[in-house]
Amino acid sequence: MLKLRMLSSAEGGLAPTAAEIGCTTAAVIAEAGAATRAVLAAGHGRRHPGASPFLQVRLNRLTAAADEAIAAAQAGDAATLRRVLCRFEALISAIWTVQAAVRGPAVPAKLAPRRDK
């Protein structure tokens, strides 16, 4: 996300290329998708049966925002690029929040039940 922030605030005629935006957003989307699959595969989605489709819709919206950002970069439209990347950041933040809620609170190791007995 830091790289996207840096790319969106590029000044002095150093506009990011569509390829830079595409590679960076693709990496974020891949990470979000992997984290979503990990949370659901660990069984955390059983407590929240709507979590899987909800997160998939959010990932689809994130992908659409990435496509819009690439198009804005191709067009050289810096204002639209900043606006779309701001939305991209808000969407990824929302995905992380839902993942954390589905996963539930972490249990410190010393409070976790022992399994060796």
CA nearest to 36, candidates 107, 104, 100: 100
For 45, the token pair is 């989605």
Whether the CB-CB separation of 102 and 39 falls below 8 Å is answered with: yes
Looking at residues 16-43, what average pLDDT do you find? 89
The residue that leads in pLDDT, 94 or 2, is: 94
d(CA 75, CA 109): 51
Looking at residues 55-67, what average pLDDT do you find? 95
Determine the pLDDT at residue 112: 53
Give the CA dihedral 50, 56, 59, 60, nearest 10 degrees.
Answer: -120
Looking at residues 9-24, what average pLDDT do you find? 74
Confidence label for 31 from pLDDT (cuts 50, 70 and 90): very high
Enumerate residues 6+ apart whose C-beta is below 8 A from 17.
73
| Type of residue at 92 | I
d(CA 15, CA 101): 37
pLDDT at 8 over 80: no
Whether the CB-CB separation of 96 and 39 falls below 8 Å is answered with: no
Determine the pLDDT at residue 109: 54
For 116, the token pair is 């060796």
pLDDT at 29 over 70: yes
Record the pTM: 0.77
